[in-house]
Amino acid sequence: MGKRICIIGGTGFVGRVIARQAVDAGHQVIVTSRHPERARDMLVKGIQVLKSDITTGKGIAQAVQDCDTVINLVGLLFPTRKNTFEEAHTKGAKRIIEVCENAGVSQLLHMSALLSEDAISHTEYGKSKHQAEELVRQSDLNWTIFRPSIIYGEHDSFLMRFKSLSATGSVLPVIAADTKFQPVWVEDVARAFVSSIANPKVTKHVYTLAGNDVYTLKTMLNMWMKALGRERTLISMPNIAAKILASISKLLPVPVITNDQLKLLQYDNIAQGEAFPNIFGSPSSFESLLPIIASGGQATHIQHMLDEARTHYRKS
């Protein structure tokens, strides 16, 4: 039977895909946003959009009322004066947990991040994400924590940024070119979340969500340029140049890269052990999906075909 779920931070790249898959699975979906007017397109898909602010807690209690499951997707790429990592990730998680416990919500699905011990110790982003995880673990809720590697797909902030940066010119500078990643498709991440709704088998578990293949950042970008049909020479940016860029870009409304992100990029972002849990199926191939994403998508159609294939396989 369909459940009533609330996705906090659900109007972003990942949240929209989870919301769509949840509706397709028969669930009643509520998403929260500080700016619900920017998510009017979600209304036509049967999704209710409510206003809330994770940094103040305003509107969250109303949003989770009578919900069976709450999904916390709140995550900052970079902090601002009004919205720090601590406020969004750590204090935000604490507010959500308290509201869920008071409202009698039975399940919390929490989005964390795949981070090495060094990344947790030496970056503000890593510390805040780790602290949020600890709060979730200590709660009385039926919690599940997901740690994805870099998430890619239509409208992401990774592939689309480099698509824009490579629009002109023949040379593309790359920061931390040798850092390793295990990219995971947004549709696979969403499937893990949606299949966990009201699933007692996932309670009190922490799952890594990563693709099967490990690539350096430079290799990933070379593959992306090929998919876009662009001949670009990728050159590794010296660390001193990257630090200067980070110092300058912090003055911009949307920085190109921050000092904390630069530190984070020093550490590999790869799974230790199982990359993608069998309970959620198999992750899709990064290399095979790039041409489809480059040409404009059809992700929904592809996801439906994969789901049908999995269903047929299980029945046979």
User: What is the pLDDT of the chain when averaged over all its residues?
Assistant: 91
pLDDT digits (tens, 9 = 90+) for 150-169: 999 988 989 999 999 999 99
- Whole-number pLDDT of residue 298: 61
- Whole-number pLDDT of residue 1: 74
Structural domains for the chain: 4-153+183-210+271-284 (3.40.50.720)
pLDDT digits (tens, 9 = 90+) for 187-211: 999 999 999 999 999 999 999 999 9
User: Is residue 213 within 8 Å of 287, Cβ to Cβ?
Assistant: yes
Question: Which has the minimum average pLDDT: 156-160, 178-182, 252-256?
Answer: 252-256
pLDDT > 90 in the chain, percent: 77
- Whole-number pLDDT of residue 303: 56
Higher pLDDT, 45 or 85: 85
Question: Which has the minimum average pLDDT: 7-11, 22-26, 307-311?
Answer: 307-311
| Confidence category of residue 302, pLDDT binned at 50, 70, 90 | low
